[in-house]
Amino acid sequence: MTVRISLTPGRQTQMRKLIALGLLAGVIAMGAPAEASAQDSGLLAVGAMAPDFALPGATRYGLLQEPIRLSDYRGKTVVLAFFFRVRTPG
């Protein structure tokens, strides 16, 4: 089944320009580098040591008195889990 759309000559010209512009944008986007280097973007390289940071510690009973530092767990596997605020009482 073939669908034909008849356009006026003015509309055909507009449609061709729009298609050409879209193709040009696609070619430019594909030619752009897919990834910036880690130094340029400010991100850490894969396998690099994470910088130390401290966060308030919390348990199901409330906040801890001392903050938890990443450096306290050096040499151990650390998993950070982030939850939406709606899933917490605070």
Let me know: does 63 contact 57? Beta carbons within 8 Å: yes
Report H helices in 1-90.
Answer: 9-31, 38-41
What CA–CA distance (Å, rounded) separates 19 from 14?
A: 9
Burial (CB < 10 A; 0-12, 13-18, 19+), residue 70, is middle
User: Do 49 and 83 fall within a single domain?
Assistant: yes
Q: Which of 25, 90, 24, 23 minimizes the C-alpha distance to 62?
A: 90
In a domain, 63, yes or no: yes
User: Do 29 and 49 fall within a single domain?
Assistant: no
Number of domains in the chain: 2
What's the pLDDT score for residue 25? 74
What's the pLDDT score for residue 58? 83
The whole-model pTM stands at: 0.42
What's the pLDDT score for residue 69? 93
In a domain, 3, yes or no: no
pLDDT tens per residue across all 90 residues of the chain: 676 777 787 777 887 887 877 777 776 776 655 554 445 667 888 888 889 999 888 888 888 999 999 999 998 998 887 767 776 665
Range of the domain at 59: 45-87
